[in-house]
């Protein structure tokens, strides 16, 4: 969490560069972290890790890019809109991998600025997986479009995913390295405008994949309403789509997948 707190002091740049890249070679993922992830989502050793684990594998290097002086914004104000995983071949996380991250920023949007992050993971010099993430930095300007979006109404039915407990979210923080303060406790969450801690969107994604027992080669998650601690999260599966929701009408995660 200390890394996040240091990033609080990062200022928005007036004239940021459009894009920059980072290469990381011969990376070995900690077996303890992989084991912690498997235990958290009840995955045995014979089960393939989901493509979404790639986000966790690359996360320390993504944080380095956010801390880079070329990155234009404070990452604590970023809103994660979507994450797409395209798996070309299964990754053996007990063997070394290489990670290339390309970050494009300052992309105009009526809500502020978009950031596109493309992470490519190689193993044995072969491209194994691509992870595309879209994030939003809200910026208030006089020219910003003040349009009111009509709220889509839902009436989901499904089965229980889980009741989101703080202890499990803390365990995910440890397994993933994502100690964003909004996930830690009520005091920290309120500093950033939330009434109580929220679950990581990526936690919900991994929980949903584990619950359905699918082994997809393609996943695209669109993050919707925040899911607060102690929420009873439910899941609906229908024709290559998974919805994670609560109270029948609150959509938290919209997932498309292919085997």
pLDDT tens-digit profile of 170-212? Answer: 999 999 999 988 999 899 899 888 999 999 999 999 999 999 9
Tokens 């956010």, residue located: 66
Token pair for residue 178? Answer: 């994502």
Residue numbers in the chain where pLDDT is lower than 70:
1-15, 141-151
The CATH number assigned to the domain holding 55 equals 3.10.129.10
Residue 107 CA to residue 18 CA, distance in Å, equals 8
pTM of the model: 0.90
Domain range holding 39? 2-258
Token pair for residue 115? Answer: 């950031």
**Of 51, 119, 116, 53, residue with least CA distance to 85:** 51
Q: What is the pLDDT of residue 3?
A: 55
Q: What is the pLDDT of residue 77?
A: 76
Residue 25 CA to residue 152 CA, distance in Å, equals 44
Residue 106, sorted as left (phi over 0), alpha (psi -120 to 50) or beta, turns out to be left
Total domains in the chain come to: 1
Residue 102 CA to residue 20 CA, distance in Å, equals 6
Residue 169 CA to residue 53 CA, distance in Å, equals 16
Burial class (CB in 10 A: 0-12, 13-18, 19+), 110: exposed
Listing from the earlier edge strand, what are the strands of the sheet with 19-27? Answer: 19-27, 97-109, 112-123, 126-138, 78-87, 218-223, 250-258, 241-246, 232-237, 159-163
Q: What is the pLDDT of residue 125?
A: 94
**Of 54, 133, 41, 56, residue with least CA distance to 90:** 54
Q: Is the dihedral of CA 141, 228, 255, 46 positive or negative?
A: positive
DSSP secondary structure of 92-120:
-TTS-EEEEEEEEEEEEETTEEEEEEEEE
């Amino acid at each position: 969490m200390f890394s996040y707190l240091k990033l609080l002091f990062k200022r928005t740049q007036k004239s940021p560069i459009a894009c920059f890249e980072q290469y990381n070679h011969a990376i070995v993922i900690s077996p303890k972290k992989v084991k912690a992830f498997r235990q958290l989502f009840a995955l045995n050793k014979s089960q393939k890790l989901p493509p979404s684990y790639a986000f966790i594998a690359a996360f320390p290097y993504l944080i380095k890019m956010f801390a880079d002086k070329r990155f234009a914004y404070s990452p604590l104000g970023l809103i994660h809109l979507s994450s797409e995983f395209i798996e070309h071949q299964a990754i053996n996380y007990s063997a070394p991998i290489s990670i290339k991250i390309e970050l494009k920023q300052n992309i105009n949007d009526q809500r502020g600025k978009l950031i596109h992050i493309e992470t490519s993971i190689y193993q044995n010099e072969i491209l194994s997986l691509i992870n595309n993430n879209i994030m939003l930095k809200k910026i208030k300007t006089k020219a910003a479009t003040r349009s009111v979006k009509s709220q889509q109404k839902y009436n989901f039915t499904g089965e229980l995913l889980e009741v989101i407990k703080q202890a499990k979210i803390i365990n995910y923080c440890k397994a993933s390295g994502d100690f964003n303060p909004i996930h830690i406790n009520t005091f920290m969450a309120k500093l950033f405008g939330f009434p109580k801690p929220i679950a990581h969107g990526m936690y919900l994604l991994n929980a949903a994949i584990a619950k359905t027992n699918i082994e997809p080669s393609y996943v695209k998650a669109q993050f919707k309403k925040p899911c607060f601690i102690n929420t009873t999260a439910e899941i609906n599966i229908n024709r290559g789509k998974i919805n994670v929701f609560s109270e029948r009408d609150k959509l938290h995660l919209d997932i498309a997948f292919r085997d």
